[in-house]
Structure 1
């Protein structure tokens, strides 16, 4: 009987080794899947970010009738500290957007606008926090966000204070 017991032990050890190998391969496949998923998502957004940056650059150069402040030597540019806000969404992973922009003040209104930058930021916070990741897709997204930022800045400061807003960076993560 000692020969049968040795054969049974060898079969049991072999089954255990196969089970461990299957679990290890499954874990490696799962880790590879998670890595692929996260890299694929960042690659998808990288192309969108490049398109948005190109659109923002085109707008700053005066595309489609906007950006006329570039040609006006009396225009005054006020750089605003970057804003970073969470995006609205029900996903498991928190997403946020970072916006860096310049306010173009109307002629003779530079000091008044500089002193009221906190009011502009306060007016823009609710709008930016209500954005969803889908709202930032496509090249028209930068244009829509820029128009809404101009509208809210004008509402906060009054007509004739803000001439334009130039979006420098719009980064979604």
Structure 2
């Protein structure tokens, strides 16, 4: 009789293990199949998530993205905000990346304001702030923001605002 109950317990344990295996393996198998169908590109169109249908030939075509234009900035030499009696200078040669080549004329007209904003910012910087790639990146972000302020058209103007997208450093010497 003990042998019969031992067999019954072993039988239940074996079927319970199989149930657990099925409960775990079935969702994993379905997830693997779904991922395979998704990454092979079969599933998205079936779910209506595929690419939008191509526009017909009679519809007006969207304007192709233009390559950026570059505007040369004059060389800037400014003294930094350094403690002590010793003066520390920065020499900066840069280019502005602008969204449209047509904006170069507007940037040239705003050059005095642009140089003023750049120089006043550089004069307030400490030499430690320019060290390393993070210092250079912070300077770039600040100069882009200041450049966009400088080239903005006056309030109420109907002309589109020129947009400076980046400042590229050609030379930056701190001495």
TM bucket, shorter chain = 0.5 to 0.7
Q: Distance in 2 between matches of 1:105 and 1:118?
A: 18
Unaligned runs of 5+ in 1: 1-71
Q: Does 1:157 align with 2:151?
A: yes
Q: Which has the higher contact order (CA 8 A, sep 6+)?
A: 1
- State the match for 2:68 in structure 1: 75
**How far off its partner does 1:170 sit?**
1.3
Kept in 1, the 8 Å contact 2:91–2:172? The answer is yes
Q: Distance in 2 between matches of 1:91 and 1:137?
A: 19
- State the match for 1:25 in structure 2: none
- State the match for 1:66 in structure 2: none
Tell me the number of residue pairs that the alignment of Structure 1 and Structure 2 aligns: 102
Pick aligned residue for 1:92 from 85, 89, 92: 85
**How far off its partner does 1:123 sit?**
1.2
Pick aligned residue for 1:146 from 135, 140, 146: 140
Give the alignment's TM-score, normalised by structure 1: 0.54
**How far off its partner does 1:104 sit?**
1.6
Pick aligned residue for 2:115 from 86, 110, 121: 121
| Structure number with higher helix proportion | 1
Give the alignment's TM-score, normalised by structure 2: 0.54
Bigger Cα Rg: 2
Kept in 1, the 8 Å contact 2:71–2:95? The answer is yes
